[in-house]
């Protein structure tokens, strides 16, 4: 987007594109809006909530995984009709938590929160083509985030180290060969890589890192040169927990959110790696977001037993309103439930939100 052990908040996204019908201007969202019901699709009974998503713009198809120990499933969705058409059981990683999509080959690599394994899936014929198990010496406990470089076909997966004293790491996988390439080590205490952002043109990777295992740690944004794999710089963020990052590579800007009942959105100049502005968001506990650089908008979804969305005008860098979407019943008994995976169609102006309902579901929101 994505807790000490807050596995669900970073659960992912990777999508572009979709189907058509109606629109609402984001600027018309009211901060006091009543709950709105949008078109949605729900998985079969017994499945868990939507945890990752991939979109094939050519076929107008979405692929959404659920969050379980076994069997892990990926659901194929016809986005024009908002119906689930097929499902695939995946072996290897457990609790699918991150996915990197290669649109050129129409393949995806899935990582699990509690696993050092990765699953390779051919989305063209909707079959699993292989499994990769990392060497035990890497001590890789599971995935928390991902990024994909279309210029090299390399995928990057950030670790969920889970211990304050453990060094986190970023795993590099060649999606064209379904093979492990290398591991980029982080510093001791940089335990969880909550999000990854990539700038393929500049060959830079940005890791949103939280130290320790609770929300009382520290947060930093670390820049990494993808050519050398070397750490370039680090920026401390003045909050205990950062949870989501969006990148505007054209302007070399990133937008990073804090996590908690009071949410702050930070605007970061990636050239100097410095905070240039910040603004408050109404929606608490932000767990995901998408960006529309055509219309200069960003949307951030929450996970505080609600499906609230904050809309931000990136030109003025101000929240223009919020909307509350109908979504229930939730999957678990805690208070950190709501939106967990998302993608945006900037052409038809829809955002698709994967929701922590039981069974899992996806909501289509016009903007």
User: Is residue 274, in this structure, part of any structural domain at all?
Assistant: yes
Q: How far apart are CA 351 and CA 79, in angstroms?
A: 12
260-289 tens-digit pLDDT: 888 999 999 999 999 999 999 998 889 899
pLDDT for position 47:
66
User: Is residue 323, in this structure, part of any structural domain at all?
Assistant: yes
Q: How far apart are CA 298 and CA 270, in angstroms?
A: 18
pLDDT for position 360:
83
Q: How far apart are CA 118 and CA 300, in angstroms?
A: 28
Between 280 and 191, the higher pLDDT residue = 280
Residue 25, pLDDT > 60, answer: no
The SS3 call for residue 313 is strand
User: Is residue 39, in this structure, part of any structural domain at all?
Assistant: yes
pLDDT for position 340:
86
User: Is residue 67, in this structure, part of any structural domain at all?
Assistant: yes
Strand arrangement, sheet containing 361-366 = 40-42, 361-366, 350-355, 339-345
Kindly list the distances between the CA atom of residue 115 and the CA atoms of 98, 161, 332, in Å, as whole numbers in the listed order: 11, 11, 22
Q: Count up the domains in the chain and report the number.
A: 1
Mean pLDDT in the chain? 86
User: Is residue 88, in this structure, part of any structural domain at all?
Assistant: yes
User: Is residue 2, in this structure, part of any structural domain at all?
Assistant: no
DSSP letter, residue 283:
S
Of 54-58, 89-93, 288-292, give the lowest mean pLDDT range: 54-58
Residue 27, pLDDT > 70, answer: no
Residue 55, pLDDT > 90, answer: no
291-345 tens-digit pLDDT: 999 999 999 999 877 889 999 999 999 999 999 998 877 666 555 678 889 999 8
149-163 tens-digit pLDDT: 999 999 999 998 765
Residue-by-residue DSSP string for 210-261:
E-SSSTTS-EEEEEEETTT--EEEEEEESSS-EEEEEEETTTTEEEEEE-SS
Give the domain range for residue 175.
Answer: 7-366
What band does 30 get if pLDDT is binned at 50, 70 and 90? Answer: very low
Residue 23, pLDDT > 80, answer: no
Of 36-40, 53-57, 81-85, 228-232, give the lowest mean pLDDT range: 36-40
What band does 211 get if pLDDT is binned at 50, 70 and 90? Answer: confident
Residue 13, pLDDT > 50, answer: no
pLDDT for position 363:
93
- Do residues 74 and 54 make contact, with C-beta atoms less than 8 angstroms apart? no
pLDDT for position 164:
53
- Do residues 207 and 221 make contact, with C-beta atoms less than 8 angstroms apart? yes
CATH of residue 295's domain is 2.130.10.10
């Amino acid at each position: 987007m994505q807790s000490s052990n807050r596995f669900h908040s970073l659960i992912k996204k990777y999508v572009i594109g979709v189907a058509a019908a109606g629109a609402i201007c984001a600027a018309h969202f009211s901060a006091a809006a009543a709950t709105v019901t949008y078109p949605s699709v729900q998985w079969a009974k017994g499945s868990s909530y939507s945890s990752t998503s991939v979109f094939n713009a050519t076929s107008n198809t979405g692929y959404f995984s659920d969050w379980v120990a076994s069997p892990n499933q990926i659901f194929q969705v016809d986005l024009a009709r908002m119906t689930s058409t097929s499902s695939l059981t995946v072996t290897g990683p457990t609790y699918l938590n991150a996915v990197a999509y290669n649109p050129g080959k129409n393949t995806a690599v899935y990582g699990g929160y509690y696993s050092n394994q990765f699953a390779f899936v051919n989305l063209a014929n909707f079959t699993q083509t292989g499994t990769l198990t990392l060497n035990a010496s890497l001590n890789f406990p599971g995935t928390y985030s991902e990024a994909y470089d279309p210029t090299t076909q390399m995928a990057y997966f950030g670790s969920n180290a889970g211990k304050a004293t453990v060094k986190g790491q970023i795993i590099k996988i060649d999606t064209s060969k379904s093979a492990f390439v290398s591991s980029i080590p982080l510093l001791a205490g940089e335990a969880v890589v909550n999000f990854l952002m990539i700038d393929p043109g500049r060959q830079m990777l940005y890791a949103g890192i939280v130290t320790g295992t609770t929300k009382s740690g520290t947060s930093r944004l670390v820049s990494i040169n993808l050519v050398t794999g070397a750490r370039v710089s680090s920026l401390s963020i003045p909050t205990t927990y950062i949870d989501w990052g969006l990148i505007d590579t054209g302007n070399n800007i990133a937008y990073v959110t804090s996590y908690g009942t009071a949410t702050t959105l930070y605007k970061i100049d990636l050239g100097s790696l410095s905070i240039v502005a910040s603004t408050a968001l109404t929606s608490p506990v932000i767990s995901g977001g998408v960006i529309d650089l055509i219309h200069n908008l960003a949307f951030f979804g929450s996970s505080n037993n609600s499906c609230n969305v904050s809309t931000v005008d990136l030109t003025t860098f101000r929240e223009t309103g919020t909307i509350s979407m109908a979504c229930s019943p939730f999957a678990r008994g805690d208070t950190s439930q709501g939106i967990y995976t998302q993608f945006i169609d900037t052409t038809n102006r829809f955002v698709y939100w994967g929701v922590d309902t039981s069974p899992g579901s996806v909501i289509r929101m016009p903007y």
